[in-house]
Structure 1
């Protein structure tokens, strides 16, 4: 039986190398690390090969800005995983994948990327290719949590997901391209939440007087603001009883949240090309200089609905000490379903909608994500923990 070959563009980066390590651990695939710097890719391949005690990892040079190098690298590969900060070249990567008969998955949050992929949707489907976009932690998981909650209620009425990302940036090797990607995300930021039957812009006071969410004993109550993700758009259609749904993102640190982010948002709208590099340098400096412990990454769902006519409340929390691992693990959990065929369908899909939620959460837990699910019984003040082996609330 032929072993599948998966190529990771950006395979020696902070997230790419973790995806590679997990793929070698969880599958029998051959993994190819690709990037502009062949020496770094080869060094990482040797490291992973020594860890795994095998020869299922190799390296190749591939530059997202160079279509010919992409096509050469992708020949013979089943799927390309885009883990690099190259959303500006999403169209070129997608075209190279189509030209070589390669499936595709990316980890990038970018409306520019969507603009490049959407026109190719019919061609992707017609070619029998499976393209999965918006992989990772967020985007990638918030709608998975809502879909999971939808399976626990007869009628889901409210589903809100909040996140905390606290990373010791000073210890990480963050390249200029990654910092610039952060700033581009700010320029793309859409402050939308679903209320009263429609996706609506949050009032401006929500940015200056943000709501708070209780993120548990480590992080406590944190402020967070609405952040629209494409994966959330269709949820009110999937669950017609929803009257409120949204994703809310917490801050990095006071300097980045209240000074750098508003300045970068304004500058990128007035001078999008001239402002990118200086704003990225300022963002990078602010993340490294002002971030403080406790560190970790956490995603929390709060949901309300009805079970047999009785009001119920559900809370689901996912967390990991390493934010990059929390990005890599959902990707690999999705790929496990892709590789066995259950999540491979021709067309352009969002990670949060192509994967089966409960299996994805179980696989993530097995790979190191901490999960806590609480479902209070009617009339109870405190909620017992559900350790994933108990009967669903509506059974």
Structure 2
């Protein structure tokens, strides 16, 4: 197991990797749950008397979201109610001067680490450790703290390089996310274990279904639900005018979907009705049996929600990945919010994963405290569910 910040020596100089990668709309970086989560780690470290320099990334080169971290420093400052200084440099002279000027209890945010070519280079951890980025910054600090669980599956220099040459620890976000998200692989549950799968990326979810043996019931919705309904012989799960979600994924996954239906049997629960917008713009529902798809279905229907709620209520553990409908539109939030509300009302062990799904909790007045864990991770959450290794965890454990 890795060391955590509970194991840190007192009042050190720390390099902390976080993940506040965020949507950028009209050139403005949007605040989200990641800022508040990582702010808790940074506050704890600063209050303990550490001098803290922070590494983070935003977007990828060539994309509109690839911007500086100046706005991120301001957002973090608001969450922390203290100044987070920003320097438009990562490991050059300006950065080193700012780092060396850090006092205990102060926090400094370095420039977007993906603006350093070495960060995304295809190298081994040992090779990353020899990069100028790692060699330069490692000399300035007593220890490295990785709190960026959302990027734990990325073998980038700032994730796997520093643990090769520095004492390294997991931050609070890293610790909590790993414990909760890997529970389905590490823990034994005496009662019924349920996984709710939805969203738009069927390949990720199908991979989870193939790899996770401890789930008693899969409750499907969203794109993956329609694709499985198509394999079961219903006239849904293909693109209509204006959509491109289904046909390509069907061509890639048809064989696997059919195999899962055949081998899993009653472990897979499919929607029995679906919802759409009628000509007047109101929510309308139709039974799956005998349906002919002429428009986009945007949510599971009320009967499906009721059936899924009953399964959840009788479960010991529930893991959620992906929304059951387009919950951003209140008309089509019934599936996602209904199931989340049912989970919140039980005393089961529950993990809600994926940024979109967890966002519904705040949007519809649910409390994060009613769930065992609300994950801010995407790809790393999927890997944890399947038991696949995470390079950041391996680096910390070394």
TM-score range, shorter chain: 0.3 to 0.5
Q: Which has the larger share of strand? A: 1
RCO (CA 8 Å, sep 6+): is it higher in 1 or 2? 1
